[in-house]
Amino acid sequence: MVRKSFSKVNIFLKIAGKRDNYHELVSRFVRVHTLYDVISFEGGFFKDFTLVGKFGCETKKNTIYKAYEKLKEISPKVEEYFKKNCVIVDKRIPEFAGLGGGSSNAATFMIMVNEVCDLNLSKDELCSMAAQIGADVPFFVYEYDSANVTGIGEIVEKFEEEILDIEVITPKVECNTGEIFKIFRDKFYKEISKDDTEKFLKMNSIDILQTLDIYEANDLFAPASEVYPELNNYNKESFYFSGSGSSFFKLSNRNK
Ligand SMILES: C[C@@](CO)(OP(=O)(O)O)[C@H](O)COP(=O)(O)OP(=O)(O)OC[C@H]1O[C@@H](n2ccc(N)nc2=O)[C@H](O)[C@@H]1O
Ligand SMILES: Nc1ncnc2c1ncn2[C@@H]1O[C@H](COP(=O)(O)OP(=O)(O)O)[C@@H](O)[C@H]1O
């Protein structure tokens, strides 16, 4: 079994409030069809869960392993399957890039295991497990091209719009999400109004980016560019900032 594990960008990312030491978001997530990892299951004999790929962390810290630990509680078929198959990931999505690589891998792995082990879990059941692995995992579980994501990422609503051409550039800066949120909370804290929330969640992604500048579109750009000033060198005409960075992106619609 082989599947693409797509990346994402945040067309806009606004903070709506605090929930313990997390922040509630109002955001449009869009999948990037041209930038993805490839996940495959390959037969063999394995004493333990075996994950092959170029990762910046050990297997036990990998989001795919965290997903495996949750799924094996559902049925003994899962542990059985990974005694006779390993997971191979061809990593192409840069890490620490605001592109959701780790989150996408976990969600895609869950979808694949649900199928290959006939677990018959619904998207909503997968989502409640996904939310325990990471804030962006639920978005990738639903496999929408565009979605409005709120809460801490656990509320995902499909957004109907044309497929967008997205160009991504990723400066070699490993952005620490926690650090950026801390500076946001200490120095840039503000919450999106109810009116703006309603307005942005209804607008097409292209129209939103014609209305907002890079700072207005992503509340995390100001703190990120304070923590990593080199990001300002990429603050160019018609580029926007994804997630907590370091990636910038620009849109073009295919029908232009
Ligand atoms: C903000 C987003 C937007 O997509 O950034 P990117 O990952 O894309 O850059 C994600 O939701 C990131 O979610 P996720 O990737 O799970 O966050 P983590 O790295 O686990 O969070 C690291 C730290 O960031 C802070 N954090 C994270 C998410 C959130 N909604 N509020 C927060 O305050 C918390 O202090 C958390 O401990
Ligand atoms: N399957 C995975 N792919 C990428 N990074 C992973 C994965 N599992 C865990 N990580 C860890 O998550 C962090 C990067 O997460 P990633 O989703 O790639 O970045 P971002 O959240 O900025 O989009 C790194 O600490 C990396 O080691």
Catalytic residue list contains 136:
yes
Q: Which residues are annotated as a binding site for ATP?
A: 94-104
Query: What's the rounded Cα separation, in Å, for the pair 142 and 140?
Result: 5
The CATH number that applies at residue 87 is 3.30.230.10
State whether 6 and 72 are in the same domain.
Answer: yes
Among 136, 158, 180, give the residue marking a domain's end.
Answer: 158
pTM: 0.96
Number of domains in the chain: 2
223 lines ligand 2 (CB under 6 A): no
Q: pLDDT (tens digit, 9 = 90+) per residue, 103-161?
A: 999 999 999 999 999 999 999 999 999 999 999 999 999 999 999 999 999 999 999 99
Catalytic residue list contains 196:
no
State whether 128 and 196 are in the same domain.
Answer: no
Among 98, 129, 158, give the residue marking a domain's end.
Answer: 158
Helix 123-130 to helix 63-71 angle (10° resolution) is 120
Among 106, 124, 158, give the residue marking a domain's end.
Answer: 158
The CATH number that applies at residue 220 is 3.30.70.890
pLDDT at 53 over 60: yes
State whether 55 and 114 are in the same domain.
Answer: yes
Query: What's the rounded Cα separation, in Å, for the pair 98 and 163?
Result: 20
224 lines ligand 1 (CB under 6 A): no
Among 8, 66, 70, 72, the active-site one is 8
Tokens 């997903």 sit at which residue?
67
State whether 125 and 151 are in the same domain.
Answer: yes
67 lines ligand 2 (CB under 6 A): no
Pocket test residue of 40, 63, 87, 246 for ligand 2, highest count of atoms within 8 A of CB: 63
Q: Which residues are annotated as a binding site?
A: 94-104
What ipTM score was computed for the predicted complex, to two decimals?
0.96
State whether 103 and 175 are in the same domain.
Answer: no
Query: What's the rounded Cα separation, in Å, for the pair 150 and 65?
Result: 26
Tell me the CA end-to-end span of the chain in Å, nearest whole number: 36
Domain limits at 65? 2-158
Q: What angle is formed at CA 36 by the lines to CA 30 and CA 39, rounded to 5 degrees?
A: 125
State whether 143 and 105 are in the same domain.
Answer: yes
